[in-house]
Amino acid sequence: MKEQIILLGGGGHCKSCIDVIEEEGKYTIAGILDMPENVGQKISGYPFIGIDDDLDKLVSQYNNFFITVGHIQSPAIRIKLFERLSDLKVNLPVIQSPYAVVSRHAQIGRGSIIMHQAVVNTEARIGENCIINTGALVEHESKVGSNCHISTYAILNGQCKVGSECFIGSRTVLANNTEVVNSTLVAAGSVVLRSLEKAGTYIGNPLRKIR
């Protein structure tokens, strides 16, 4: 019998996570926590059963929880939820699509999701509470810190290092051995040829810092 899991966050990213959880087949989704106005409704066939304030009650009934809030501008909400769940000592599993390729020599931190068609190659390291989104590539020996989102079809080439709390946008490419400092956002379609040593928002090819 499959273990049950509670999801936190009911937006568009949640729908994608639900699809991965269903395809992985390890957990049955017992319900979703979201805004009060959504309680009693459903998303992808699963009920909204409460709000974040219900966590203390739910941990006595369920052991597995997963954060399905998205991350574009800031990971602040995801971090807050992750810290609260950690304090409650619940299980925060790794969710991995059966259509992803993850090396047996890679390491994935708890609470992270590897989505459809993503590739995490040999000796890559993914931190906690990360989103490795559809089609993303994390090449050999690259490291991604905690609370990051590597977006759709982004490419981290070999031995890259992305700090914590970063967002790497769709189809962005990081050249071999480049580093991205903590709390940095690189917009979709950018090309990173040199290490980014100052936190901020970057965009384009050639890359430029806009704030």
pLDDT of residue 40: 87
| Dihedral pair phi/psi, residue 131, rounded to 5° | -115, 115
What pLDDT does 1 receive? Answer: 81
What residues in the chain have per-residue pLDDT under 70? none
In CATH, the number for domain 3-87 is 3.40.50.20
pLDDT at 85: 97
pLDDT the model gives residue 87:
96
Give residue 38's pLDDT.
87
In 3D space, the residue among 141, 100, 135, 136 whose CA is nearest the CA of residue 121 turns out to be 141
Residue ranges covered by each domain of the chain: 3-87, 94-196
Q: For residue 109, what pLDDT is reported?
A: 98
Does the domain at 94-196 match CATH 2.160.10.10? Answer given as yes
